[in-house]
Structure 1
């Protein structure tokens, strides 16, 4: 247990709040599609369009919301975002039409963008610089646990399959956000950081080397779509492996992240070490693509072995990629703008999530083995580009002294 929890203090408070919030989030993620189509009566096309709109709203709002966290205090903004998100989640129970779904979903997307931007600034304000990446690693491991537990709980409501059961799952999510907000009040207030007297307000959007890194990192994040989208279709359509292997590989991924994300973050506290981890991540993910490509048109036992090996290579790359992104995004942010820089960093992840379904299904599923190899070359290239971009970024800035981290209230 000690291995899975940070030491008592702000990091443990953040971990507990994350666990509570993501359990609720897991219930909604597992049940949302069924609730919206079966209970609300929306078409699959309407749900897909709505999700695309919400992703775009989150993309556009990420940096401005991070700016608000910097100017008004990140703990305050994060708590307000959780309260707003809870209210919006509860309003889902009243949705009966597509316009209402859009309105509530856009409000939820804005609250989520504020939460993400504020979370990075909270970590920067509450955690010493040398422990921030490690804290992020704990939060990611905790997120995987919370989502898994929430999805398992959602299975009860899905099995009952009534509107009342779906409403109960939504309210669990709403209450979880309220509880997470209450937990965050245990953190000492983090004072707002005054903006510089001169220069643009949204400096992150003027920082060309940081934006270049954000794009590279966002495109690298398309690898999440390999496991969640491309690989299940590849196994079902192009290999002789049993379909139950899909669930096994997803379980392997979740377990590896929970057990090893903190360890994988070692050495990424400085931007040079983080850049090297990003390069390693590209190579590991490329190896996974090659193993997946080789799993087609071979005997079942060989296909299973290749797919398992590929999944292990992929999760190793995933662990390095996540840790590298945190180290670089914290390391390049000015002390007065952690919120907006974390918001800009999240834009890259949103971008990757938007383009991944089309890219990975076209290359890996439609093109087959050659497409997997093209993806592998792409991930190698992205990983190799990160170190020179980080060196460019380092040459363009003078690192500011960090304020002393606050503790627990």
Structure 2
């Protein structure tokens, strides 16, 4: 990826030495990283609080049955799939900070209105708006990272930000647990309002974040990207290598559904492990991500290393599935130990695959169209999150060991296939950049 330069867009940028081996202390001292950390931590506390109390609010306070809330959230998930790509293209046409500001205002309003959702149609509309805003927010944040973070710092900075996000969600969940002890409509409404206010408070650090790391070529390309509205956006679908990487990444990203849905249901329904282990498995995952994510991202620069890290992570997730299968028909103590080992393997796979995934999503995208490419990348993740629960509850858990083995094969296959797909995508990206430097006046055509 091009490094910042004051040369005009038509000149080849100099290759300044990127700070690829920056220490954690240096990352924390970077004002841009600090601003992004403040933005993310405020958001994460609000999200953790809302996730903790939302189910009880929907079912007990609003009075909607689980049979109605479940399909409503499924519809909302489908809306989320449709939101990522338009948000990314909006970031390319205008800028990520402006788009993120609008999304925060919309999400804050949608969450706040949950407190007064008096009818099911209103609840459904708010769920769709909030979920679509969440997926669009992820795309806009990803684009902001591309524009604000130096390429040499980006992967390790994202690892640090992910640890910050997990700490924030944990703090929000702890706050939500306090709210649950009151178990009153007033307490729930107050928590919802605090969650909504977090989106507004996050706008304060957002305003101070600089996008100076955005390459001049990308800044000039943003104007050209504005012309790519309408049917020309379909040209993205011709970048088959990037779409292949996106699809394989989406498969491995199903690990989150395994952690949040598959393992708890497996523990509660098919094993003798104590039910309280569900919470401890999630706590173990959160603690390990905070402790290991920055270290896992160390040294991952360029598509080749990123693809190898992704492959290693995907294979560890596959091993976690095989371990989880071994918890059935065991004593309570052994089942608990096996499931804990499965979560450790899953988390090791998570931190490795995510570090590789971030690098691939940015390094394989054109400099002037990070928003659009982040949009398609996030769309793949949204599809996996929407379809993952049905996959697990229909094709994996009912079939026991065979189902887990099939899921492990799916993860392993995606992990092993990704390096070849990444090599093809890297060749295409380098070819586009070379053509752009040779014929700057035709750069839009060369890229597409």
State the TM-score, normalizing by the size of structure 2: 0.84
CA distance in 2, matches of 1:197, 1:137: 31
8 Å Cα contact 1:64-1:202 kept in structure 2: no
SS in 2 for 1:178: helix
1:5–1:145 CA distance, 2 compared to 1 (3 A): farther
Matched, 1:391 2:411: no
CA distance in 2, matches of 1:155, 1:223: 26
Which region of structure 1 is more displaced relative to structure 2, 260-269 or 322-331?
Answer: 260-269
2:201 aligns with one of 176, 179, 189: 179
8 Å Cα contact 1:4-1:259 kept in structure 2: no
CA distance in 2, matches of 1:90, 1:299: 46
Equivalent runs, 1:1-400 vs 2, <5 Å: 6-188=28-210, 193-196=222-225, 200-201=232-233, 203-397=235-429, 398=431, 400=433
CA distance in 2, matches of 1:314, 1:271: 23
Give the deviation of 1:3 after TM superposition.
Answer: 6.5
CA distance in 2, matches of 1:197, 1:14: 26
Describe the superposition over 1:132-156 as per-residue Cα deviations: whole angstroms up to 9, x where unpaired: 1222212221221111111111122
1:50–1:5 CA distance, 2 compared to 1 (3 A): farther
State the TM-score, normalizing by the size of structure 1: 0.92
Give the deviation of 1:34 after TM superposition.
Answer: 1.2
Unaligned runs of 5+ in 2: 1-23, 437-448
8 Å Cα contact 1:274-1:324 kept in structure 2: yes
Give the deviation of 1:203 after TM superposition.
Answer: 4.6
8 Å Cα contact 1:363-1:372 kept in structure 2: no
CA distance in 2, matches of 1:238, 1:271: 40
Describe the superposition over 1:2-52 as per-residue Cα deviations: whole angstroms up to 9, x where unpaired: 669733311111011100111011111111111112222222222222211
CA distance in 2, matches of 1:205, 1:25: 33
Describe the superposition over 1:129-185 as per-residue Cα deviations: whole angstroms up to 9, x where unpaired: 121122221222122111111111112222222221111011111111111011111
Give the deviation of 1:232 after TM superposition.
Answer: 1.8
Q: Which has the larger radius of gyration?
A: 2
SS in 1 for 2:178: helix
Which region of structure 1 is more displaced relative to structure 2, 162-171 or 36-45?
Answer: 36-45
SS in 1 for 2:53: helix
Which region of structure 1 is more displaced relative to structure 2, 294-303 or 215-224?
Answer: 294-303
CA distance in 2, matches of 1:45, 1:228: 19
Unaligned runs of 5+ in 1: 403-409
Give the deviation of 1:112 after TM superposition.
Answer: 2.4
1:237–1:50 CA distance, 2 compared to 1 (3 A): closer
1:314–1:279 CA distance, 2 compared to 1 (3 A): same
Matched with 1:407 is: none
Describe the superposition over 1:305-334 as per-residue Cα deviations: whole angstroms up to 9, x where unpaired: 322222111110111111121111011111
